[in-house]
Amino acid sequence: MKEKIWNIILIGTLVGCGGGGSEADSKTPPPVSSTPPVETSNLLIDNPISDNAQFSQYMSHSVSILPEDYGFSSSEVYLKIYTLDQKVLFLGKVASMKAFSLHLPSSIDRVYFDLFSPITSEEQFTGEIIL
């Protein structure tokens, strides 16, 4: 009986060991590259630009709309300036405006305006300003 127990222990040890192996089965590590990895930088000093480069998200535009040119008899004239997608840029009462400045995203190349009076008999004017 003792002999059977010793045989079971011996067989269990041999199976658990997994045996040896030949050196042909071992894998060689990949070769190490002789060139260092390229480092990228986000610093402005490391990324020079040309002298004529421009960075702008917004542009300033001078716009002139004279209510007198449209023949309003009322002293109260209202101006609405908006983009093609109906985003209102200005809405207010104007008397005699020579010019005013709009700061718009660079992607906008035209705006639209409505000029109107609170007097119902006066006509409303709509126009387009190409920037």
Is pLDDT at 101 greater than 90 in this prediction? no
Domain map of the chain by residue range?
Answer: 58-130
Q: Which helix (H) or strand (E) holds 103?
A: strand 100-105
CATH number attached to the domain at 58-130: 2.60.40
Mean pLDDT of 98-110: 84
Q: What angle do CA 41, 47, 48 make, to 5 degrees?
A: 165
Is pLDDT at 112 greater than 80 in this prediction? yes
Q: Tokens for 52?
A: 């004529």
Tens-digit pLDDT profile for residues 77-89: 899 999 999 999 8
Mean pLDDT of 1-26: 64
Cα(7)–Cα(68) distance, rounded to whole angstroms? 115
Mean pLDDT of 103-118: 89
Percentage of the chain lying above the pLDDT 70 cut: 78
| Model-wide pTM > 0.75 | no
pLDDT value for 113: 92
Is pLDDT at 125 greater than 60 in this prediction? yes
